[in-house]
Amino acid sequence: MNYAEFQKEIKITQKSICRDFFCQNHGSIRIKKEKTVLRNLEKIFGAALKISNQKGFQAMSMRDLSIETGLSTGAMYAYFSGKEDLLNMMQHHKRTMAMRIVEKYMKEETDPLIRLKTMLRVHLYISEAMQPWFYFSYMEAKNINKKQRNQAVESSRITENIIKEIILEGQKAGLFKDHDADMSASIIKAMLQEWYLKRKKYAKRQISVDRYADFLESIIMSFIRI
């Protein structure tokens, strides 16, 4: 699998993300015409990600957002009940989107070695397709409410546990070295996060997500495999 294939299969676009969001949240959105909602949600999410990822969500004013979207501040409140609500909505949505895709792909394999390799690629490719969302989610995690934060911590723990379980299976099967599985999983997750946190740096150096994935795979294999 490479990124182009992944994209073709999943088709994560701004529009699909918004459609998905509308299906799950049409209760709390005052506007009812789907086409209008999609058009404006795309503007709002896009603008919020752009401004927040430049200077932080707290530093983004509703006026900033209004200018960037081309909507009035009044109009925006038809799509969310307040600034904090927008933040929580976005955090929640990123999580559910990402989790759903991971689960779909991870169910298909059983061999630990292939599972590990697949897992690496799926995570990298999702974070690439939704890079602004992942960056946002990471940098703004401090500001969300307790309930959401617990969910975020839980979700991150799950990701790490998936990696850990694969490593343990590999060790049991005699394929992997006897490293501390907890620590290995942590480090691997850090290397995955590096991709979306420093994406600009890699773009400047013209390193594609596929090349990054290949490199990661090679170094992880060299320290984890017997």
Partner DNA sequence: GTCTATACACAGATAGAC
Partner DNA sequence: GTCTATCTGTGTATAGAC
Asked if 83 is part of the footprint of a copy of itself (rule: CB under 8 A), the reply reads no
- Give the binding-site size for a copy of itself (rule: CB under 8 A): 31
**Cβ of 154: how many Cβ atoms within 10 Å?**
11
Smallest CA-to-CA distance from 203 within 140, 138, 131 is with 131
* From 79-87, 98-106, 132-140, 204-212, span contacting DNA (CB under 7 A): 79-87
Asked if 144 is part of the footprint of DNA (rule: CB under 7 A), the reply reads no
- Residue pair 220/116 in contact (Cβ under 8 Å)? The answer is yes
Query: What are the residues whose beta carbons fall under 8 Å from the beta carbon of 7, sequence distance 6 or more?
Result: 125, 129
Within 13 Å, how many C-alpha atoms sit on residue 62's CB side?
A: 13
Report the residue number, 30 or 100, with the smaller CB distance to DNA.
Answer: 30
Query: What are the residues whose beta carbons fall under 8 Å from the beta carbon of 22, sequence distance 6 or more?
Result: 29, 34, 37, 38, 41
Question: Residue 83's binding partner, choosing from a copy of itself, DNA, none, with beta-carbon cut-off 5 to 8 A by kind?
Answer: DNA
Asked if 158 is part of the footprint of a copy of itself (rule: CB under 8 A), the reply reads no
* From 4-12, 74-82, 98-106, 202-210, span contacting a copy of itself (CB under 8 A): 202-210
Residue matched to tokens 């991150």: 156
Identified binder of a copy of itself from the candidate list 30, 161, 180, 208, rule CB under 8 A: 180
Question: Residue 193's binding partner, choosing from a copy of itself, DNA, none, with beta-carbon cut-off 5 to 8 A by kind?
Answer: a copy of itself
CA distance 221 to 63: 49
Smallest CA-to-CA distance from 144 within 206, 195, 95 is with 95
Report the residue number, 83 or 189, with the smaller CB distance to DNA.
Answer: 83
Q: Which residues bind a copy of itself (CB under 8 A)?
A: 54-56, 58-59, 139, 142-143, 179-180, 182-184, 186-187, 190-191, 193-194, 198, 201-202, 205, 207, 212, 215-216, 218-219, 222-223
Name the residues that contact DNA, by CB under 7 A.
31-33, 36-37, 40, 60-63, 70-75, 77-78, 81-84
